[in-house]
Amino acid sequence: MSHLLEVEGLTTVFTGDYGETTSVDHVSFHVDEGEVVCIVGESGCGKSVTNLSVMGLLSRGGKVTEGKVLFEDRDLLAMTEKELDKIRGDQMTMIFQDPLTSLNPVFTVGNQIMESLQIHRGLSKDEARKQAEELLSRVGMPDAKSTMKKYPHTLSGGMRQRVMIAMALSCKPKLLIADEPTTALDVTIQAQIMQLLKELQKENKMAMILITHDIGLVAHMADRVIVMYAGQIIEEAPVRELFRHPKHPYTKALMDTVPTIRDTAERQLKAIPGIVPESYDHIPGCRFADRCSYRRPECDKPQENYEFGDGHMARCIVRKEGGIQDES
C-alpha cells in the first residue's frame, strides 16, 4: 500500500551573498491517510523549510536540488505552478505560524474563504458565502455572519487563527500541514486551537503534519514523531515508543528540558548546552556531537539511520554500538 505523502532524499539549499547553504539535507519520511505526524526540533533545524519545500512555497533564493515529493504517487517537484495550484489549497493545505501576515489585509475574511471555495469547488458566490459562514461557525467563531465582513487586522490572534483553519479545511483536504499554529497565542487559546484541530482531523479523517517545538503538544497530538536537528532527521518513532525509549541523545535532552506532572521537588530541568549550528555543510559526522555528553571519536564519521525496533530509527552510532544504555 502506497503512502499518502512520501518524501525521498529531499535536499533544499538557499543562495545568498556567500554562496549556497544547505537547509534540508537528504530528508526522507512518509505520512499515511488519517495519520498525525509531528516534526519536532529547535528553531533553525529545518522543520518549516522541509514543509515549505513539500508545498512548493520556498521564498526567493530557496530551491530543491535533490529528491522526490510524492503525493498520491504524483511527484509534486515535477509539476508546473499551474498543476500545483490545483492541489495546493484543495487536497493539500497549510496553516502558518503568523495568521496576520498569511491573510490578505485588503480583503474581508469572508472574501478570502469564499475565494478558495469558488476556485477549487466551483461554487457560486451565494453557495460559497453560505458555506464560509458554516465553516466559521464550525471553528468556533462567535458571530460568523458578522465576522465575514471584517478585515484580518480587526480580529484577535486566536480569531485570525480560527479563520486560517476554516480556510485550510474549506475544501476538506487529505493532508493539512500546521506550522506551529499556536506560536503567538496565549496558553488558554493554544489549548482551544489544538483541541479544535484534533477534533477536525478525526472528523474529516485527514492526515496532518504538525510542526512544533512543544514536546507536550507532541504527546497529545501525534501518532508518530520525527525529530530534526541541523537539517537532518535524527530520530523517528511511534509516539509512545519515542517517549518511553528515546534513542538519540538530542531527543533525550529535549525531553529533559520539559517539566512533567510526575516531577519530584528534587528534579531540576536541564538546558541543552550550545546552539544549533548556523552552517552544517562542513560537518561530516554527527551534527549534535559538539553539544553531546556521549561524544566518541566515531561520532566524527558520516552517520546513518539505525533501526531500533519496528518503525524506530535513530542516527546515533554510539547508541547502536551499546555506548548508551536505556534508563530503567
pLDDT in tens, 49-58: 999 999 999 9
Total domains, the chain: 2
Alpha-carbon gap, residue 321 to 115, rounded angstroms: 56
Check whether 176 has a pLDDT greater than 80: yes
Q: What is the pLDDT of residues 288-307, one digit of tens each?
A: 999 998 999 999 999 999 99
**267 confidence band (pLDDT: 50, 70, 90):** confident
Alpha-carbon gap, residue 119 to 111, rounded angstroms: 12
Q: Same structural domain for residues 69 and 188? A: yes
Domain span at 261 = 229-320
Residue 44 in any domain: the answer is: yes
Contact 279, 21 (CB under 8 A): yes
Mean pLDDT, the chain, integer: 90
Q: Same structural domain for residues 218 and 233? A: no
Q: Which of 244, 260, 216, 254 is nearest to 312 (CA)?
A: 244
Mean pLDDT of 100-116: 91
Residue 327 in any domain: the answer is: no
Q: Same structural domain for residues 209 and 236? A: no
H helical segments located in 245-316: 249-256
Q: Same structural domain for residues 205 and 242? A: no
Q: Same structural domain for residues 9 and 85? A: yes
Residue 325 in any domain: the answer is: no
Alpha-carbon gap, residue 237 to 319, rounded angstroms: 15
C-alpha to C-alpha distances, 172 to 110, 175, 255, nearest whole angstrom: 18, 9, 34
The pTM score is 0.92
Residue indicated by cell numbers 476556485: 119
Q: Which of 89, 79, 76, 56 is nearest to 5 (CA)?
A: 76
Q: Same structural domain for residues 170 and 48? A: yes
pLDDT greater at residue 197 or residue 182: 197
Q: Which of 212-221, 230-239, 271-280 has the highest mean pLDDT?
A: 230-239
pLDDT at 60: 87
Q: Same structural domain for residues 68 and 184? A: yes
Which of 165, 194, 222 represents a domain boundary (last residue)? Answer: 222
Give the burial class of 221: count Cβ atoms within 10 A of its Cβ; 0-12 exposed, 13-18 middle, 19 or more buried: buried
Query: DSSP 3-state assignment of 92?
Result: strand
Amino acid letter, residue 88: R
Q: Same structural domain for residues 40 and 65? A: yes
The number of angstroms, rounded, from the C-alpha of 217 to the middle of its chain's C-alpha atoms is 12
pLDDT at 1: 59
Q: Same structural domain for residues 144 and 198? A: yes
Q: Same structural domain for residues 141 and 246? A: no
Q: Same structural domain for residues 215 and 236? A: no
Which of 193, 222, 251 represents a domain boundary (last residue)? Answer: 222
Residue 260 in any domain: the answer is: yes
pLDDT at 328: 46
Q: Same structural domain for residues 102 and 210? A: yes
